[in-house]
Amino acid sequence: MGRNHTGKSSLIKTLFLTLGARPQGDLAQWDEKTISAVDFCIDKKRYRAVHQLRHRALFNETNDLIIATNNHDKWAETFAKTVGFNLVLTDKNLETVQADPRCFFLPFYINQDGSWQSSWNTFIGLQQYRKPTGTILDYFSGIKPPEYYELNSQRTQKQRALEDLQKERQFLDRARERFSESMTLSGPKLQPDNFEQEISRLTSEVTVLNKKQEMLRDTAVREEEQYDNIQLQIELANNALATHEGDSFYLLKEAREKLTCPTCGAEHLESFFDLLTYAEDARILRDLVTHLQEDATKIREQHQKTLAKKIELEKHYQKVSEILSIRRGALQFNDVVNSMGAERAFRVFEEQNAALKGEIDQKLSDIETLDTQLKELGDKKRSREILQTFRQTYSSALVSLNLPPIDTSKLRLTSRPDLSGSGGPRSILAYYGALWRTCIDTYGAFSIPLVIDAPNQQGQDDINLPKVLTYIADDLPEGVQVIVGIEIDTPHFFDNKVVLDQQYKLLHSEEYDAVRDEIDPLVRTMYHSLQNEGLG
């Protein structure tokens, strides 16, 4: 609770940003380098997420590190595993991908910047998915429960494997046809002129391969030099950071005499701002080390690719050289083909075709079984019950929020309202309230905190604003954590009230030492892990 510019939205948005979901809306005078930590509980197990810039770390209840990463996909994977979120979506490239924290929180957060209108603009970057909203709402409401998506993911994998096998079988059939056209059962025919031409071609190929090997060797040497240079910079920065941390501990803990000017005799005290500036130097050093480590990781990965290409090229070079050596001698490769005979070649084709057919039949059987299970989980009766709950709750919420009744008999979960004027935000709240009741009802699988920022939208008057606050306090699902950002106090009961009373000062200077002592060890652990990951 707090008036304008006291940090309500900043605090709420930071909760989601820390957990990997950046909300819509820029925050005035908000430091992007802010370190934030969020404690949360899953099935009575406590966790703590720490975030700075694009770096995140997850700790368990004893502050043991689970993961530290600056990769969004890795964080999303760990977050999903931690909370039991197994929803998969289709991205813009029609690839199946794990849904990230933005999808997890989307139905449960009314963002002051983007959620009070008719479209889903709660978080930045949801456009990477292809029509995600309907699937997300089906998932959380239970129309298609988590088990459905787990089985559907298995089906997708089976289908991809089936398609690969079918392509392989098509290639095999084409190869057999071409072989039949060029090789009859009566045996192959030798062509000496072609043999001499092939020797010439192989000689040229060896020359080209040799030049490519030299180029790759030069590239590998340059990459090794770049990597060593960056590692030296990292070592220097880490040494500076270690010295800095010792100096910082001295400045914060050791008592010192006042500074006296030798000229005028004036006494000077160290300001809190000076200490913050010194702490900022540490953040810059940590960020520098992390950036360098990322560069080192990229160069190392590229170096590994270069070495792999070099090894593959050397194998090819050796193979061609051996073939060329044999063909220059008395033995001709066509003699080997003759000795095997076309009959054996056709027999190999048939054996491979039979093996592929067996694998294809097994995949088709697995997919059929999964389709049956998916059909059972997509039960129409349950879907009707869920939609009925949504529609009835929506109708009731409209009345509670002083809005005219509408026909809800054909509404879907995605039927987000689009009203203008002061009734628009109240209709949005009624819609979210119906969604929340539906998602936490019998078929819902999650109990996620409900976050509202902020209820007083588009000039709610002295009649409607109390109705909005009453609805939030009394009519939302019981047993669920509700977080509300409001400007003034309300007579309604809430378990806990956090009062923000200073503009642009979410963290007061007198709280800094206690917060620093709690957070700094976690931040050091996060950056240490990120650096070691790059070195590993």
Q: What is the pLDDT, as a whole number, of residue 397?
A: 96
Q: What is the pLDDT of residue 190?
A: 43
Tokens of 218: 């030069």
Higher pLDDT among residues 240 and 399, named by residue? 399
Q: Which residue has the higher pLDDT, 184 or 109?
A: 109
Residues ≥6 apart with Cβ < 8 Å to 203: 324
Please say if the pLDDT value at position 278 is more than 90.
no
Give the model's pLDDT for residue 453.
92
pLDDT tens string 337-386: 444 455 666 677 788 888 888 999 999 999 999 888 888 877 788 889 99
165 three-state secondary structure: helix
The pLDDT score that the predictor gives to residue 153 is 76
User: pLDDT tier at 4 (50, 70, 90 boundaries)?
Assistant: confident
Terminal Cα distance for the chain, rounded: 46
Confidence of residue 106 (pLDDT cuts 50, 70, 90): very high
Mean pLDDT of 278-300: 75
- Quickly list DSSP for 218-247: HHHHHHHHHHHHHHHHHHHHHHHHHHHHHH
> In this structure, what token pair is assigned to residue 22?
């950046």
> For the chain, what percent of residues have pLDDT higher than 70?
81
Give the pLDDT score at 260.
55
Contacts of 405 (CB under 8 A, 6+ apart): 395, 398, 399
Of 27, 30, 46, the closest CA to residue 38 belongs to 46
The closest alpha carbon to 430, from 449, 408, 445, belongs to 408
- Rg for the chain, CA atoms, rounded: 33
**Structure tokens that stand for 448 in this block:** 């996620």
The mean pLDDT of 218-226, rounded to a whole number, is 86
- Mean pLDDT across the chain: 83
